[in-house]
């Protein structure tokens, strides 16, 4: 069974399928926006759903390593980079939608909003930290930085996840809706707890 799964994961079509799956939510959101299916406040719906898919992509990328080690399917590692890059794409679109649809691309107003509202600051900080990770996610960057320095840099993804979760919690706090943040928080606690446990075993 393991050999069959490994062959499937290594097949060239596997990455194509993952690419299409990652692109599917964005395709649907564009279609929904064009056909007025985003509800009474389409701008808010678009901003929030892009943020949701940012978190989902980031959490899936963080799941790859423990899943790979627990199942012994080393081929899973080849999907982590694409998940991380797509998470950044959705984060960038989330930021763009906020800046454009919510703030009218008024840079002064955006700067004031970032400084004034903690959850906006947290979201912007998470995006800013994702920027160097995405820029160095390619093979040339790994060679240029060296494997050890590259790995050290990319450990910042854990900080990104924590800050993104804080952004999500603060955003939902305004409506006293903590159900979804609790689920994301529990999943992140498991993922980070696994890494701590693994380090302690060493």
pLDDT at 195: 87
DSSP state, 120? H
Q: Encoding tokens for residue 144?
A: 């240029």
pLDDT digits (tens, 9 = 90+) for 60-102: 999 999 999 888 888 898 999 999 999 999 999 999 999 999 8
Label residue 62 exposed, middle or buried (CB < 10 Å: 0-12, 13-18, 19+): buried
pLDDT at 10: 83
Of 160, 43, 158, the C-alpha closest to 102 is: 43
- The rounded percent of the chain whose pLDDT value lies above 90 is 55
pLDDT digits (tens, 9 = 90+) for 135-193: 988 888 888 888 788 888 888 899 999 999 999 998 887 677 788 899 999 999 999 99
DSSP state, 77? G
Determine how many CB atoms are found less than 10 A away from the CB of residue 202. Answer: 4
Helices (H), 72-178: 80-97, 107-116, 118-135, 139-145, 147-154, 156-173
pTM as predicted: 0.93
Place of tokens 């007025």: 36
């Amino acid at each position: 069974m393991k050999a069959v799964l490994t062959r499937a994961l290594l097949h060239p079509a596997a990455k194509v399928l993952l690419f299409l799956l990652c692109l599917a939510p964005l395709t649907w959101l564009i279609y929904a926006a064009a056909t007025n299916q985003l509800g009474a406040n389409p701008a808010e719906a678009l901003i929030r759903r892009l943020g949701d898919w940012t978190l989902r992509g980031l959490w899936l990328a963080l799941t790859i390593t423990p899943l790979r080690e627990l199942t012994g399917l080393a081929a899973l590692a080849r999907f982590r980079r694409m998940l991380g890059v797509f998470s950044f794409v959705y984060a960038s679109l989330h930021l763009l939608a906020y800046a454009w649809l919510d703030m009218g691309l008024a840079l002064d107003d955006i700067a004031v909003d970032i400084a004034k509202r903690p959850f906006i600051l947290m979201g912007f900080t998470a995006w800013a930290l994702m920027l160097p990770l995405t820029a160095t996610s390619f093979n040339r960057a790994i060679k240029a930085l060296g494997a050890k320095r590259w790995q050290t840099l990319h450990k910042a993804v854990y900080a990104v996840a924590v800050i993104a979760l804080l952004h999500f919690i603060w955003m939902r706090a305004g409506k006293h809706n903590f159900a979804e943040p609790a689920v994301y928080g529990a999943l992140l606690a498991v993922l980070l707890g696994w890494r701590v446990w693994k380090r302690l075993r060493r």
